[in-house]
Structure 1
Amino acid sequence: MEMIVFQTQEELDTYAAQLFINLVNEKPNAVLGLATGSTPIGIYDKIVESHKNDKVSFKDATSFNLDEYVGIAPENEQSYAHYMNKHLFSHIDMPAQNAHLPNGMAADMHEESARYDAMLEAQPVDIQLLGLGHNGHIGFNEPDVHLSGGTHAVKLKAETREANARFFASMDEVPEYAITMGVGSILKANTLLLVVRGADKAQIVKEALTGPITTSVPASLLQTHARVIVLLDREAGRMLA
């Protein structure tokens, strides 16, 4: 596991974006694992800037997102499909048919999960971007006695819904369910890129990266992967030796 602590957000975003840019320049048909939330926005901004400056093209690349809310249509401003279009897809040249997210409006979540996993098996992810939830979740894999290996629908914990409430008009609008890649699906990526910001994440960073491997902290399973890159700001990394 490679861990780097950055003094500024600008440095962190630039470094993370460059990992994606370098990969696509070296392997134009790279498969990118993408994430949403506040953490990746600066990274996507840097990627878009490089594309606009003709330093990278995504015309042959493919992407798979970690998750999507259940019951929110793609055109809804709170959907992750809308987020990805706003922050990345509408600004780069990746063909729309190459950008994949789980379908949160699917009539059968079991069928949708199987469909998504089949695509992931056919096109293994080269680098998977991850954030870290306050309770240690990655994707929407919440702490539990047992974790699902493959893509699945999950009932969101109260603390996860509360953390996401800032994006909605009220708590009542925050979805109770999401569809997410499983931990097993995530761990199949060639490289995992975990990006964490903020003093409020310092304790869970320590537990996830240096504590015991346990399903009560799903991110701790990243310790089992052969190639993990962890990028932290000063506040998130302050409890690491």
Structure 2
Amino acid sequence: MRVFVEKDYDALSDRASRILIEEIKSKKDLVLGLATGSTPIGTYERLIKAHREEGLDFSQVKSINLDEYVGLDGNHPGSYRYFMDNVLFNHINICKSNTHVPDGTAENLEEYCKAYDSLIDKYGIDIQILGIGSNGHIAFIEPGEELSLHTSIARLKESTINDNARFFNSREEVPDKAISLGILSIFKAKKIILLASGKNKASAIAKILNNDTISTKVPASILKLHPDVTIIVDEEAYSETKI
């Protein structure tokens, strides 16, 4: 596990985007595992800039997103399909048919989750971007006695609903369930990059880095078992870490 502490959010985004740009240049048909939320936006903005100014080519790239709210279709402004289209996909030359975001309106969600895992088995994931919740969740794998291993329907914790309310008109509009990759699904990625920015993520990062403990109470701590993980944080997110 490699840890990079950057001065601020811009520097964090610079480092993350440089890694992704080099990966795309070295493998034209790269499969990107993508995350949503505010943290990766700066990274995506830099990918768009590299495409526009340097000709970074996404025409053969495939993407697989981590999660999606149950009940929201891709045209809903709160959906992750809408987010990805507007924050990244609409601004680069990626084939929309090569972009995969879970369908929160699927008729049979259990079967759909199995099919999504099969998609990951088919394409693989070369490099997975992850954010981290203030409670230590990754994707929508919430703290608990057990962690979901495969793609499944997750019930969101109150803290996660509160964190995500900023993307909706009100807290009441935030769905309480989501399709989410499981731990084994994420671990199929060859490389993982975890991004964290801001003081509200400091406690979660400290729980990962201050000791060797792996706990289902801090889902992100299980990343210590993956052979190729890079954690990129800014100084605020690192402020409670002792090492």
| Residue 208 of structure 1, CA deviation | 2.1
Equivalent residue, structure 1, for 2:231: 230
Measured against aligned partners, the alpha-carbon deviations of 1:1-23 in whole angstroms (never above 9, x if no partner) come to: 10000113222111111111111
> In 1, distance between residues paired with 2:170 and 2:12?
32
**1:104 maps onto 2:109 in alignment:** no
With over 3 angstroms needed to count, the CA separation of the structure-2 counterparts of 1:67 and 1:195, relative to structure 1, is same
TM-score normalized with structure 2 length: 0.97
**1:203 maps onto 2:203 in alignment:** yes
CA-based RMSD: 0.9
| Residue 172 of structure 1, CA deviation | 1.4
> Secondary structure of 1:48's partner?
helix
> In 2, distance between residues paired with 1:224 and 1:55?
36
> In 1, distance between residues paired with 2:145 and 2:128?
25
> In 2, distance between residues paired with 1:115 and 1:99?
15
Equivalent residue, structure 1, for 2:13: 13
> In 2, distance between residues paired with 1:168 and 1:215?
29
| Residue 69 of structure 1, CA deviation | 0.4
**1:51 maps onto 2:79 in alignment:** no
Equivalent residue, structure 1, for 2:72: 72
TM-score normalized with structure 1 length: 0.98
> In 2, distance between residues paired with 1:177 and 1:24?
33
Equivalent residue, structure 2, for 1:83: 83
**1:143 maps onto 2:143 in alignment:** yes
Equivalent residue, structure 2, for 1:31: 31
> Secondary structure of 1:76's partner?
coil
CA contact (8 A) 1:209 1:223 kept: no
AA at the equivalent of 1:151: T
> In 1, distance between residues paired with 2:233 and 2:97?
33
Measured against aligned partners, the alpha-carbon deviations of 1:157-211 in whole angstroms (never above 9, x if no partner) come to: 1110011111111121110100010011111101110000011211110112344
Larger deviation: 46-55 or 64-73? 46-55
CA contact (8 A) 1:196 1:233 kept: yes
> In 2, distance between residues paired with 1:168 and 1:8?
26
> Secondary structure of 2:189's partner?
coil
AA at the equivalent of 1:223: K
Point out 4+ residue stretches in structure 1 off by more than 4 angstroms: none
Equivalent residue, structure 1, for 2:3: 3
Equivalent residue, structure 2, for 1:214: 215
Instruction: Give the fraction of aligned pairs with identical amino acids, expressed as a percent.
Output: 40
How many pairs were matched up? Answer: 241
AA at the equivalent of 1:200: N
> In 2, distance between residues paired with 1:200 and 1:139?
17
AA at the equivalent of 2:162: E
AA at the equivalent of 1:182: G
AA at the equivalent of 2:9: Q
Equivalent residue, structure 2, for 1:239: 240
- Unaligned 5+ runs, structure 1: none
Equivalent residue, structure 2, for 1:177: 177
With over 3 angstroms needed to count, the CA separation of the structure-2 counterparts of 1:181 and 1:97, relative to structure 1, is same
